[in-house]
Amino acid sequence: MGDGTGLKRRLNISGSPVLGVFATCTDELVFVPFDITDEIASYVGESLGVPTQKVSVGGSAIIGSLLQGNSNGVVAAGFIYEKEIRSIRKHTKAARLTQALNAAGNLIMCNDTAALAHPELNDKSLNVISKYLGVDIQRGTIAGLKTPGMAGIATNKGVLVHPKATQHEIGVIKDLFGLPVDIGTVNFGSPLVGSGLLANTKGYVAGQETTGPELARIEDALGFF
Protein backbone atom coordinates (compact mmCIF):
# COMPACT_ATOMS: atom_id res chain seq x y z
CA MET A 1 0.00 0.00 0.00
CA GLY A 2 1.42 3.43 0.83
CA ASP A 3 4.92 4.01 2.09
CA GLY A 4 3.66 6.00 5.07
CA THR A 5 6.33 8.70 5.07
CA GLY A 6 4.66 12.04 5.59
CA LEU A 7 2.72 13.04 2.51
CA LYS A 8 4.54 10.65 0.17
CA ARG A 9 1.61 8.32 -0.28
CA ARG A 10 1.35 5.75 -3.05
CA LEU A 11 -1.13 2.97 -3.68
CA ASN A 12 -3.21 1.14 -6.27
CA ILE A 13 -7.00 0.98 -6.34
CA SER A 14 -8.55 -2.20 -7.74
CA GLY A 15 -5.02 -3.30 -8.68
CA SER A 16 -4.49 -0.19 -10.81
CA PRO A 17 -2.32 2.92 -10.34
CA VAL A 18 -4.81 5.16 -12.22
CA LEU A 19 -6.42 6.39 -9.01
CA GLY A 20 -8.15 9.29 -10.72
CA VAL A 21 -10.14 6.86 -12.86
CA PHE A 22 -11.50 4.94 -9.88
CA ALA A 23 -11.96 7.69 -7.29
CA THR A 24 -12.46 11.44 -6.95
CA CYS A 25 -12.05 13.84 -4.04
CA THR A 26 -12.80 17.31 -2.77
CA ASP A 27 -11.75 19.20 0.36
CA GLU A 28 -14.79 17.65 2.06
CA LEU A 29 -15.03 14.04 0.79
CA VAL A 30 -13.45 11.29 -1.24
CA PHE A 31 -15.69 9.02 -3.31
CA VAL A 32 -14.39 5.48 -3.96
CA PRO A 33 -15.88 2.37 -5.61
CA PHE A 34 -17.67 -0.30 -3.58
CA ASP A 35 -15.22 -3.04 -4.53
CA ILE A 36 -12.19 -1.65 -2.69
CA THR A 37 -11.32 -2.95 0.76
CA ASP A 38 -12.27 -0.96 3.85
CA GLU A 39 -8.56 -0.79 4.67
CA ILE A 40 -7.66 0.93 1.39
CA ALA A 41 -10.77 3.13 1.57
CA SER A 42 -9.79 4.40 5.02
CA TYR A 43 -6.15 4.83 3.94
CA VAL A 44 -7.25 7.03 1.03
CA GLY A 45 -9.43 9.10 3.37
CA GLU A 46 -6.60 9.51 5.87
CA SER A 47 -4.19 10.56 3.11
CA LEU A 48 -6.62 13.27 1.98
CA GLY A 49 -7.85 14.25 5.45
CA VAL A 50 -11.51 13.67 4.58
CA PRO A 51 -14.26 11.07 5.11
CA THR A 52 -14.53 8.30 2.50
CA GLN A 53 -17.83 7.40 0.83
CA LYS A 54 -18.32 4.30 -1.31
CA VAL A 55 -20.51 5.00 -4.35
CA SER A 56 -21.17 3.79 -7.88
CA VAL A 57 -22.26 5.62 -11.04
CA GLY A 58 -24.52 3.66 -13.36
CA GLY A 59 -23.33 0.54 -11.59
CA SER A 60 -19.74 1.31 -12.60
CA ALA A 61 -16.62 1.42 -10.43
CA ILE A 62 -14.85 4.10 -12.50
CA ILE A 63 -16.07 6.83 -10.16
CA GLY A 64 -13.22 9.21 -10.99
CA SER A 65 -14.08 9.25 -14.69
CA LEU A 66 -17.82 9.71 -14.15
CA LEU A 67 -18.02 12.11 -11.20
CA GLN A 68 -16.41 15.51 -10.61
CA GLY A 69 -16.92 17.96 -7.80
CA ASN A 70 -15.64 20.37 -5.19
CA SER A 71 -16.62 21.60 -1.74
CA ASN A 72 -19.87 22.99 -3.18
CA GLY A 73 -21.25 19.90 -4.92
CA VAL A 74 -20.71 17.26 -7.60
CA VAL A 75 -21.82 16.61 -11.16
CA ALA A 76 -22.24 13.08 -12.48
CA ALA A 77 -22.61 11.27 -15.77
CA GLY A 78 -26.23 11.36 -16.92
CA PHE A 79 -26.69 7.59 -16.64
CA ILE A 80 -26.22 7.60 -12.85
CA TYR A 81 -29.07 5.67 -11.23
CA GLU A 82 -31.60 7.51 -9.09
CA LYS A 83 -30.62 5.51 -5.99
CA GLU A 84 -26.95 6.38 -6.60
CA ILE A 85 -27.51 10.12 -6.88
CA ARG A 86 -29.76 9.98 -3.79
CA SER A 87 -26.91 8.31 -1.91
CA ILE A 88 -24.50 11.08 -2.97
CA ARG A 89 -27.05 13.78 -2.05
CA LYS A 90 -26.88 12.62 1.57
CA HIS A 91 -23.40 14.16 1.58
CA THR A 92 -23.43 17.02 -0.94
CA LYS A 93 -25.41 18.68 -3.75
CA ALA A 94 -25.42 16.60 -6.93
CA ALA A 95 -26.59 17.06 -10.52
CA ARG A 96 -26.52 15.06 -13.76
CA LEU A 97 -24.94 16.08 -17.07
CA THR A 98 -27.60 15.16 -19.60
CA GLN A 99 -25.86 15.61 -22.95
CA ALA A 100 -24.30 12.56 -24.64
CA LEU A 101 -20.86 13.80 -23.62
CA ASN A 102 -21.13 13.32 -19.85
CA ALA A 103 -18.17 11.50 -18.23
CA ALA A 104 -17.82 14.39 -15.80
CA GLY A 105 -14.54 13.34 -14.19
CA ASN A 106 -12.77 13.21 -17.54
CA LEU A 107 -14.42 16.33 -18.95
CA ILE A 108 -13.85 18.80 -16.11
CA MET A 109 -10.84 19.98 -14.11
CA CYS A 110 -11.99 22.07 -11.15
CA ASN A 111 -11.34 23.37 -7.68
CA ASP A 112 -13.65 25.38 -5.41
CA THR A 113 -13.62 28.52 -7.56
CA ALA A 114 -12.94 27.61 -11.20
CA ALA A 115 -13.40 24.88 -13.80
CA LEU A 116 -11.91 24.10 -17.22
CA ALA A 117 -14.27 22.01 -19.34
CA HIS A 118 -14.21 19.92 -22.52
CA PRO A 119 -14.54 22.28 -25.54
CA GLU A 120 -17.65 20.46 -26.83
CA LEU A 121 -19.71 20.62 -23.64
CA ASN A 122 -22.83 22.59 -24.47
CA ASP A 123 -24.10 25.71 -22.73
CA LYS A 124 -26.67 23.75 -20.71
CA SER A 125 -23.94 21.47 -19.29
CA LEU A 126 -21.73 24.46 -18.52
CA ASN A 127 -24.60 26.13 -16.69
CA VAL A 128 -25.23 22.99 -14.59
CA ILE A 129 -21.54 22.75 -13.70
CA SER A 130 -21.30 26.44 -12.86
CA LYS A 131 -24.45 26.35 -10.71
CA TYR A 132 -23.78 23.15 -8.75
CA LEU A 133 -20.05 23.64 -8.28
CA GLY A 134 -20.24 27.42 -7.78
CA VAL A 135 -17.38 28.06 -10.22
CA ASP A 136 -16.26 30.35 -13.00
CA ILE A 137 -16.10 28.01 -15.97
CA GLN A 138 -14.70 28.09 -19.46
CA ARG A 139 -13.98 25.61 -22.19
CA GLY A 140 -10.42 24.64 -23.03
CA THR A 141 -7.78 22.01 -23.66
CA ILE A 142 -4.60 20.80 -21.95
CA ALA A 143 -1.83 19.65 -24.30
CA GLY A 144 -4.47 19.76 -27.03
CA LEU A 145 -6.52 17.14 -25.17
CA LYS A 146 -10.22 17.84 -24.73
CA THR A 147 -10.37 15.98 -21.38
CA PRO A 148 -8.98 18.44 -18.80
CA GLY A 149 -10.00 16.16 -15.93
CA MET A 150 -7.58 13.50 -17.17
CA ALA A 151 -4.81 15.84 -18.29
CA GLY A 152 -4.66 18.02 -15.18
CA ILE A 153 -5.51 18.33 -11.52
CA ALA A 154 -6.42 21.47 -9.58
CA THR A 155 -6.68 22.10 -5.85
CA ASN A 156 -7.25 25.41 -4.08
CA LYS A 157 -3.46 25.79 -3.80
CA GLY A 158 -2.14 24.93 -7.24
CA VAL A 159 -2.57 23.21 -10.59
CA LEU A 160 -0.53 20.38 -12.14
CA VAL A 161 -0.93 19.65 -15.85
CA HIS A 162 0.26 17.46 -18.72
CA PRO A 163 3.94 18.19 -19.59
CA LYS A 164 3.02 19.10 -23.18
CA ALA A 165 0.56 21.82 -22.17
CA THR A 166 1.27 24.90 -24.29
CA GLN A 167 2.20 28.28 -22.88
CA HIS A 168 -1.14 29.61 -24.10
CA GLU A 169 -3.06 26.84 -22.30
CA ILE A 170 -1.07 27.40 -19.11
CA GLY A 171 -1.78 31.13 -19.34
CA VAL A 172 -5.52 30.47 -19.69
CA ILE A 173 -5.47 28.16 -16.65
CA LYS A 174 -3.46 30.66 -14.57
CA ASP A 175 -5.94 33.42 -15.39
CA LEU A 176 -8.99 31.23 -14.76
CA PHE A 177 -7.83 29.65 -11.49
CA GLY A 178 -5.65 32.49 -10.22
CA LEU A 179 -3.08 29.95 -9.08
CA PRO A 180 0.43 28.80 -10.00
CA VAL A 181 0.47 26.12 -12.72
CA ASP A 182 3.22 23.52 -13.11
CA ILE A 183 3.76 20.55 -15.41
CA GLY A 184 4.51 17.02 -14.31
CA THR A 185 3.88 13.30 -14.69
CA VAL A 186 2.66 10.38 -12.56
CA ASN A 187 3.14 6.61 -12.54
CA PHE A 188 6.64 6.58 -14.02
CA GLY A 189 6.08 9.01 -16.84
CA SER A 190 2.35 9.10 -17.55
CA PRO A 191 1.42 12.62 -18.70
CA LEU A 192 -2.24 12.16 -17.67
CA VAL A 193 -1.73 13.54 -14.17
CA GLY A 194 -5.46 13.74 -13.44
CA SER A 195 -5.78 10.00 -13.97
CA GLY A 196 -2.98 8.99 -11.60
CA LEU A 197 -3.49 11.27 -8.64
CA LEU A 198 -6.02 12.26 -5.98
CA ALA A 199 -5.34 15.58 -4.28
CA ASN A 200 -6.98 18.29 -2.22
CA THR A 201 -5.55 21.06 -0.03
CA LYS A 202 -5.02 18.63 2.87
CA GLY A 203 -3.08 15.87 1.15
CA TYR A 204 -2.66 13.66 -1.85
CA VAL A 205 -2.23 10.05 -2.88
CA ALA A 206 -0.56 8.94 -6.11
CA GLY A 207 -0.49 5.72 -8.11
CA GLN A 208 1.89 3.04 -6.87
CA GLU A 209 4.25 3.47 -9.84
CA THR A 210 4.85 7.19 -9.18
CA THR A 211 8.55 7.92 -8.64
CA GLY A 212 10.23 10.03 -5.95
CA PRO A 213 11.03 12.88 -8.37
CA GLU A 214 7.42 12.84 -9.60
CA LEU A 215 6.15 13.02 -6.01
CA ALA A 216 8.45 15.98 -5.35
CA ARG A 217 7.03 17.79 -8.38
CA ILE A 218 3.47 17.02 -7.28
CA GLU A 219 4.15 18.32 -3.76
CA ASP A 220 5.73 21.48 -5.11
CA ALA A 221 2.97 22.19 -7.65
CA LEU A 222 0.13 21.56 -5.20
CA GLY A 223 1.66 23.47 -2.29
CA PHE A 224 2.71 20.67 0.08
CA PHE A 225 6.26 21.93 0.61
What pLDDT, on the 0 to 100 scale, is given for residue 65?
A: 98
Report the CATH number that the domain containing residue 110 is assigned in CATH. Answer: 3.75.10.10
Count of Cβ atoms closer than 10 Å to residue 193 Cβ: 32
What pLDDT, on the 0 to 100 scale, is given for residue 225?
A: 75
In a domain, 142, yes or no: yes
The residues with which 108 forms a beta bridge, in sequence order, are: 117
In a domain, 2, yes or no: no
Count of Cβ atoms closer than 10 Å to residue 5 Cβ: 8
Give SS3 for 73: strand
In a domain, 4, yes or no: no
In a domain, 59, yes or no: yes
Which domain, by its residues, includes 23?
10-221
Which pLDDT band, with edges at 50, 70 and 90, does 73 fall under? very high
Q: Using one digit for the tens of pLDDT, what is the confidence trace for 132-167?
A: 999 999 999 999 999 999 999 999 999 999 999 999
Mean pLDDT of 82-108: 97
What pLDDT, on the 0 to 100 scale, is given for residue 110?
A: 98
Model confidence at 4: pLDDT above 50: no
User: What does the mean pLDDT of the chain come to?
Assistant: 95
The residues with which 115 forms a beta bridge, in sequence order, are: 110, 137
What pLDDT, on the 0 to 100 scale, is given for residue 33?
A: 98
- What is the C-alpha to C-alpha distance for residues 160 and 173, in angstroms, rounded to an integer? 10
In a domain, 66, yes or no: yes
Mean pLDDT of 207-225: 95
Which pLDDT band, with edges at 50, 70 and 90, does 2 fall under? very low
Structurally, the chain folds into a number of domains equal to 1
Lowest average pLDDT, out of 5-9, 66-70, 165-169, 199-203, goes to 5-9
In a domain, 1, yes or no: no
Model confidence at 8: pLDDT above 90: no
In a domain, 112, yes or no: yes
Model confidence at 100: pLDDT above 60: yes
Give start and end residues of each alpha helix (H) in 63-191: 63-66, 82-89, 104-107, 123-133, 148-151, 167-177
In a domain, 5, yes or no: no
Query: Considering only CA atoms, which of 149, 220, 145 is closest in space to residue 181?
Result: 220
> Model-level pTM?
0.95
